[in-house]
Amino acid sequence: MGRIKTFAIAAAILFVFAGTAYWMQPYFNRGQENAETGRFDTANPRILGVKDKTDMIYINSLEDGIALKNELRGNPEVTIVKHNVQDESHYHEHEAAVKFKRNPGQQELEEMLRRIDGMAIKRFNHTIVFRSRSKSTSDLLQYFNHLPQVKFAEPNYIYMQNEANVPNDSLYRRQYQWNLPVIQTEEGWDITRGSKNVIIAVVDTGVDLDHPDLERRITRGYNVLAKNSNPDDDNGHGSHVAGIIASETNNLRGIAGLTWYNKIMPVKVMNEKGYGNAFDVARGVIWATDHGADVINLSLGNYQPSAVMQEAIQYAYDRDVVITTAAGNDNTDQPSFPAAYPEVICVAAVDHNGNRAEFSNYGEYVDVAAPGVEIPSTYFHKQYAALSGTSMAAPHVAALAGLIRSANPDLKNTKVMNIISRGTYDLGAKGYDPYFGMGLIDIRHSLEQVEKPRRHNRQSFWDELRESFNIK
């Protein structure tokens, strides 16, 4: 749903949404007309010192992003293109992702490999990632883009994570989860608490498959990086995103997810350091689409548009998937991708006072805003952690999309996206603005707009009861 229709950006890549926050522009507060409603009069988040029953780690995800950027800067196999001081893009040197009009024959492929002095390292449908022993990425692009059988060739871009009914869950009851009341989650649960038939894919670093707050919420997933391995999380980012959406609720432990019954489909596309490439992310999006995902969350990105990635986004959108993305953590109006593609919902971050998070990107491609500062959630190694970033804001919207589709599975993705935008609580300048989009998401208000389905296929009371007590 991003409003940018044309993009002219230098050849480069990368999104560090868990990355460095810069304060180059003044941030905008919530509108005065909304200041007296009491919505943000919840207790400030109390993140540190959680000792009884549950230990939670506070992680400065923005500093982690700086460290990762510095590591990439020092890697001779990674090329950096600077759009401005903070918006760096990266790609793998000596590699190119090539989309063919038709798959090349064996003889044809061998001739290509001979000419580039290289090998084919990844293949999916008509797209092949090539690596050369001696030629630069620009040399590879020049060679492949002149071949008549090639649709396009581009750098192998690097994508990075974008961190930065009253349930009885221990952290929720003690008001650590400030993020749920401000978007009227409890009131929304009176309408629906979700359905196990509506699947939300987390295309990320994987998910902690053994986490006690996640293990019953997980359905079949996929590890793009190692197809014979489980999509287990070796970084923590994906587990945190998944917990915001669907951590088991009302189980006397940990945190409450926004949905009680929706299933999480873990798709691992990023490594233990928290980054991956456009080819693998695109494969993950397509796999999730082909295996029944109703919603896909992408808390990752890059400042360079990728044709490989755009085709995957279009593929999912054309097949009725709702796609939520993080705006980015560089406090810039530089369009980020896939957030700026019109087929997705781009999400900015707000803090517990209703102000734009100081790191949150802004611009005409921002659609809505959601909580994204000190968000408690599940973490890998069966832990809990508080993270900040638009990575944390986006899954709030993915969960809302899942709840809407649970209330009425007949709704098309375009209708779901419209309901989310129309159901917001206005922040900043009246109406749409580039800092909050249409405003802060509102679970209750959005669900109140959902028409009843033609057929009754929502989860029944007895199904919900069996889920709650783990009755087979």
Q: Distance between CA 261 and CA 243 in Å, rounded?
A: 12
Annotation marks residue 391 as catalytic:
yes
User: Which among 64, 204, 294, 426 is annotated as catalytic?
Assistant: 204
Cβ contact 375:395 at 8 Å = no
Walk across the sheet containing 56-58 and list its strands. Answer: 56-58, 383-387, 375-379
CB–CB of 73/19 below 8 Å?
A: no
445 is an active site residue: no
Interatomic CA distance for residues 244 and 227, integer angstroms = 26
| Residues paired with 264 in a beta bridge | 200, 218
Q: What is the DSSP string of 416-467?
A: HHHHHHHTPBP-SSSS-BTTTBT-B--HHHHHHTPPPPSS--SPPHHHHHHH
| CB-CB contact of 17 with 161 (8 Å) | yes
Which residue among 92, 94, 237, 396 is the active-site one?
A: 237
Which one from 336, 391, 406, 421 is the annotated catalytic residue? 391
Helices of type H across 264-412: 278-290, 307-318, 390-407
Strands (E), 136-248: 150-161, 199-204, 222-223
CA 270 to chain centre: 12
Instruction: Tell me if 102 sits within 8 A of 150, measured CB to CB.
Output: no
Q: Could you give the CA distance from residue 349 to residue 361 in angstroms, rounded to a whole number? A: 8
Cross-strand bridge partners of residue 347 = 326, 368
> Catalytic residue at 204?
yes
Strands 118-124, 275-277: pairing kind: unpaired
Long-range Cβ pairs for the range 147-150 (8 Å, 24+):
147/112, 149/100, 149/101, 149/102, 149/104, 149/108, 150/98, 150/99, 150/100, 150/101
The catalytic residues are 204, 237, 391
